[in-house]
Amino acid sequence: MTQVIRTSAELREKVATWKRSGMLVGVVPTMGALHDGHLSLVREARKQSDRVIVTIFVNPMQFNNKDDLEKYPRDEDHDLALLEAEGVDVLFAPGVHEVYPDGFATVVAVSGVSEPLEGAFRPGHFEGVATVVMKLFGMTQAGRAFFGEKDWQQVQVVKRMVEDLNVPIRIIPCPTIREEDGLAMSSRNVRLSPEHRALAPRLHAEMQAAAAAIRAGAPVTATLEAAKAAIGAAGFGAWDYLDLRSAEGLRPITELSEPARILAAVHLGDVRLIDNIAV
């Protein structure tokens, strides 16, 4: 039976009873509209923790686009049923005023790794992420937190913050879960039209082809430009970026001298898809 908790005071009491018994708490922070990607995080959390909290909070502070915030899919009843089936102990689903009460005035900002890519195209996004994640860590007092590599840059920002602020929690990144055709699972995918849904996997296919070419020694810039052109010709909209970056610091690189990833953000209809893969 998954207990639904809506206030941090009630959550703190619950967690205190667990902590007194020496239990390790795992948390999976989400914005709801759960799919198999989230559930893979939940399963990992169950393996690595004595008690599991899943948080659902569509965090206004991390949305730079009001329309995206309003259209973000929400279905708590369905989410709760999925979490029940996974044996989650607590669904923590606070309201906006519980998270940001009147007088709220604190921001956590991570420079460097948060600045390129999503940071450049979504001003303020990672401040919103860092701040709410810090709050959720404080509210849940979890010892482990599980994040999907689909949001690769977010994982790097959270890891940097945890290290810099000496937060007593371990960040566990978990692999991106994909549809059979290769499309990275995302809550926003339900907003794709049938035509665009059919086209969407092409992004991952071209990224894989580019990664293989770069690994085989093809020149980085030309290979990425060709992939962009191919995806554009297939019917995608504007690119935000398609970059080769160092895996941890997300520095731009033009040769494979360290672990690297291709990261992409591209528009398809009024949905913005992001993805990333190891090279």
Binding-site members for beta-alanine are 62
Binding residue positions = 31-38, 62, 148-151, 154, 177, 185-188
CB of 13 to a copy of itself, least distance (A): 12
Considering just the CA atoms, what is the radius of gyration of the chain in Å? 19
- Of 87 and 249, which has the nearer Cβ to a copy of itself? 249
Burial status of residue 137 (CB atoms within 10 A of its CB: 0-12, 13-18, 19 or more): buried
Output the CA torsion sign for 111, 114, 119, 124: negative
Q: How far apart are CA 174 and CA 148, in angstroms?
A: 5
21 binds a copy of itself (CB under 8 A): no
128 phi and psi, to 5 degrees?
Answer: -65, -40
Provide the 8-state DSSP code for 61: G
Stretch that binds a copy of itself, among 72-80, 104-112, 117-125, 224-232 (CB under 8 A): 104-112
Burial status of residue 124 (CB atoms within 10 A of its CB: 0-12, 13-18, 19 or more): middle
What H or E segment, with its residue span, contains residue 169? none
Give the contacts of 49 (CB within 8 A, at least 6 positions apart): 24, 25, 26, 142, 143, 144
The helix/strand/coil state of 9 is: helix
CB of 105 to a copy of itself, least distance (A): 4
CB of 110 to a copy of itself, least distance (A): 5
141 binds a copy of itself (CB under 8 A): yes
CB of 272 to a copy of itself, least distance (A): 26
164 binds a copy of itself (CB under 8 A): yes
Report the residue from 36, 60, 74, 104 that binds a copy of itself according to the rule CB under 8 A. 104
Report the residue from 14, 51, 125, 135 that binds a copy of itself according to the rule CB under 8 A. 135
Q: DSSP readout, 231-250?
A: HHHHT---EEEEEEEETTT-
Binding residue positions for (R)-pantoate = 62, 154
The amino acid at residue 174 is C
97 binds a copy of itself (CB under 8 A): no
Report the residue from 77, 111, 180, 233 that binds a copy of itself according to the rule CB under 8 A. 111
Q: Which residues are catalytic?
A: 38
256 binds a copy of itself (CB under 8 A): no
Tell the residue number behind the tokens 């049923």, with chain if given.
81
Output the CA torsion sign for 178, 44, 149, 141: positive
Binding residue positions for ATP = 31-38, 148-151, 177, 185-188
130 binds a copy of itself (CB under 8 A): yes
- CB 256, CB 279: distance < 8 Å: yes
106 binds a copy of itself (CB under 8 A): yes
- Of 167 and 205, which has the nearer Cβ to a copy of itself? 167
134 binds a copy of itself (CB under 8 A): yes
Report the residue from 80, 110, 242, 273 that binds a copy of itself according to the rule CB under 8 A. 110
Residues of this chain that bind a copy of itself (CB under 8 A): 8, 12, 20, 22, 103-113, 130-131, 134-135, 138-139, 141, 160-161, 164-168
